[in-house]
Chain A
Amino acid sequence: MNGEAAVKLIKPVKGKGTEDLAAEKQKIGWNYRNNAYFLLKIMLTVSGFLAAIIINVVFPQKADVVIKTYTLSAFGYNLDLTMNDAYIFIVSLLILIYGAAGVRAFVDRTRRKLYSKNAAFRFALGAALAIWDIGGTKLQLFAQPFFPGPAQVVEAYLIDSDYIVQNTIYSLRLYAAGFSCGVLLGVVTGILIGWFPKVYYWVFPVLKITGVVPAVAWMPFALTLLPNSFTAAVFLIVICAWFQIAFLTAQGIQSTPKQNYEAARILGSSQFDLIFHVAIPHAMPDIFTGITSANAMAFTTLVMSEMLGQPGGLGYYINQSKVWSAYYKVLAAIIIMAVLFSLINYIIGLIQKRTLRWQEGVIKK
């Protein structure tokens, strides 16, 4: 970008004649810089989703699925809609979002390249919805009731909206309580192990052996010894995050170069400074490696403990729906998990990027 700007500055200033413009147009060629080409890319992006809507409306339904009408009320308005209406509404929303992004990229040329690149995948996404619809609810080509159509999954949200929200909040509460305690305990233990040789001697071997045991293995103890199932599940998530994070934090503290300590001491550091302003900043990349890997394990532990002994949560919802063979509800819960967990990963990624700003551009050793 800067290079381009510099080149423009060096160029002698002169009015652009029609010849120049024509030459420039020829130079552009058949790629995303070309307006017609880019319009085609927008159409490609949207067409998959359009096909999904058309198929949902036009295709006759063979399956024995009753189309019920649900009434949604919000802000004093009542809205009657069937599962197909809701599905079409969601897909239309996607068309609107991607269409708007396309228009934006059309104006803002810096966004064009990425949008063009994503066009094929977004088309495939729409096409997959269409195929799923045909194979699922419409013609029942896939094994039923395991593969209900997308509209039926949407129906789960219509039927169980409050209940799903309730279970999602339950999962989030469990995760937040367990993971935050786990991170806190993990970092503190890791620092103690990394800093004090005595703590290392007594605690590290215990951590190393117990750390390899999957947290859910402790479930029988957790369920019987702790006062309620919520604390039991929190305990399991804490364990899985704790050991992993403590392990890596200790490693990060211990790998601090001696020279960093010597430099800090000569500059007037106290013991406190050596821990908090030298060892911990140095261990930060390792601490975040621990947090991200523990996070993935925490999701697993969360869902498993919900499936095995919780009065709520998305895992519980899946289990309950399975009993009634309501696989469309299972899929609905899985989609929420995918979105929710991705979001949590994204937020952790943002915090990591901000904290480890100093590492940007350095290849990690």
Chain B
Amino acid sequence: MSSSIGITNVNRIYTDADGNKVNALNDVSLNIRPGEFISIIGPSGCGKTTLLRLIAGLDKPQSGTLSIDENTISDVSPERGYVFQQGGLFPWLTVEGNIAYGLKARKVYKNNKKDVAKYISMVGLEGFERSYPHQISGGMAQRVAIARALINQPKALLLDEPMGALDSFTRADLQDKLLELWKENGITMILVTHDIDEAIYLSDRIVIMTPRPGKINEIIDVDLDRPRHRGGVDFLAMRKKILQLFELAQAEPQPEYNI
């Protein structure tokens, strides 16, 4: 079910409104293992969303190659599901309609009609089948977006800051749901986030990117046992390590010796 994804020497340059060239991705290489949960973090402008869009096939690099299971990625495909930061749902379709969309688009709806109910219960949205997107909360909307992607049985799920707009309680809840779905479906997960805790809590590996030009700074193995504890000593140590990489960690307060 899961796939490996290979990214080799990828460059992506944009031209902004003033005609300046922006080096969004500079010689980026990364190998994602099958069934891995990988997070990409970094400050805004580091190219993390650009990288995710390239993997999805929504965008093309100027040079370099992207491949999934040795096949070059040239266009979008239902085998690489995508969850947008927010919205992304079709407001004119019900929860059920949104989730069934992929089956209908691929003309396999009739054979898999029962799947819709299965995926609705998988993300815990029983009773909201007939609700429209604006009638449900942001956290529920993201669950719908995840179920909508999963119903196509993708080999990889690409998540673009799916929890960025949620409050911290909903976010923690959805993170657990995501882990559950990852184990259940055994697919490769690629998460773009700017939340360090979220990356440590979820990932096998964390890719740290830095801006101007966007490039991979370091890849960290998160060798903590699962289930992880958000307040654990190892967890906090890992957090400190990453903060130091971003030069965000403050120096330890010096004891005051003035008497």
Q: Given A281-B90, A358-B132 in contact, is the A263-B84 Cβ separation under 8 Å?
A: yes
Task: Say yes or no: is A160 at the interface (Cβ < 8 Å to chain B).
Answer: no
Complex alpha-carbon distance, A259 and B102, angstroms = 15
A269-B105, A281-B90, A358-B91 known, 4 other contacts, Cβ within 8 Å: A266-B149, A268-B105, A357-B132, A358-B132
Stretch of B72-80, B207-215, B246-254 with 4 or more beta carbons under 8 angstroms from chain A: B72-80
Complex alpha-carbon distance, A257 and B56, angstroms = 18
Taking CB atoms and an 8 Å cut-off, the chain B residues in 142-172 that contact chain A are 148-149, 152
Complex alpha-carbon distance, A264 and B88, angstroms = 9
A48 to chain B, nearest CB (A): 44
Q: Given A361-B134, A361-B135 in contact, is the A267-B101 Cβ separation under 8 Å?
A: yes
Q: Mark A48-61, 1 if CB is under 8 A from B, else 0.
A: 00000000000000
B90's partner among A262, A278, A360, A361 (CB-CB below 8 A) is A278
A276 to chain B, nearest CB (A): 11
Which of A265, A270, A278, A360 counts the most chain B CB atoms within 10 A?
Answer: A265
Q: Given A260-B90, A281-B90, A362-B134 in contact, is the A268-B82 Cβ separation under 8 Å?
A: no
B14 to chain A, nearest CB (A): 16
Number of interface residues of B (CB under 8 A): 29
Are B77 and A282 within 8 A (Cβ)?
Answer: no
Are B84 and A268 within 8 A (Cβ)?
Answer: no
A253 to chain B, nearest CB (A): 14
Q: Given A259-B84, A259-B87 in contact, is the A266-B134 Cβ separation under 8 Å?
A: no
Q: Given A259-B87, A260-B90, A282-B92 in contact, is the A266-B135 Cβ separation under 8 Å?
A: no
Complex alpha-carbon distance, A265 and B140, angstroms = 22
Main secondary structure of the interface of A (DSSP, over half): helix
Are A266 and B92 within 8 A (Cβ)?
Answer: no
Task: Say yes or no: is A284 at the interface (Cβ < 8 Å to chain B).
Answer: yes
Give every chain A residue within 8 A of B135 (Cβ-Cβ). Answer: 361
Q: Given A257-B87, A259-B88, A358-B93 in contact, is the A268-B80 Cβ separation under 8 Å?
A: no
Main secondary structure of the interface of B (DSSP, over half): loop
B83 to chain A, nearest CB (A): 9
Q: Mark A272-298, 1 if CB is under 8 A from B, else 0.
A: 010001100110100000000000000
Complex alpha-carbon distance, A268 and B90, angstroms = 15
Are A266 and B78 within 8 A (Cβ)?
Answer: yes
Complex alpha-carbon distance, A357 and B90, angstroms = 14
Task: Say yes or no: is B58 at the interface (Cβ < 8 Å to chain A).
Answer: yes
Give every chain B residue within 8 A of A259 (Cβ-Cβ). Answer: 84, 87-88
Q: Please name the residue on chain A nearest to B80 by beta carbon.
A: A266
Complex alpha-carbon distance, A359 and B133, angstroms = 10
A358's partner among B80, B82, B92, B101 (CB-CB below 8 A) is B92
Complex alpha-carbon distance, A362 and B88, angstroms = 17
Q: Mark A324-365, 1 if CB is under 8 A from B, else 0.
A: 000000000000000000000000000000000111111000
Task: Say yes or no: is B106 at the interface (Cβ < 8 Å to chain A).
Answer: yes
Give every chain A residue within 8 A of B80 (Cβ-Cβ). Answer: 266
Give every chain A residue within 8 A of B139 (Cβ-Cβ). Answer: none
Q: Given A268-B102, A358-B93 in contact, is the A263-B88 Cβ separation under 8 Å?
A: yes
Q: Given A262-B58, A361-B135 in contact, is the A268-B87 Cβ separation under 8 Å?
A: no
Give every chain B residue within 8 A of A265 (Cβ-Cβ). Answer: 58, 76
Q: Please name the residue on chain B nearest to A278 by beta carbon.
A: B90
B82's partner among A257, A263, A278, A361 (CB-CB below 8 A) is A263
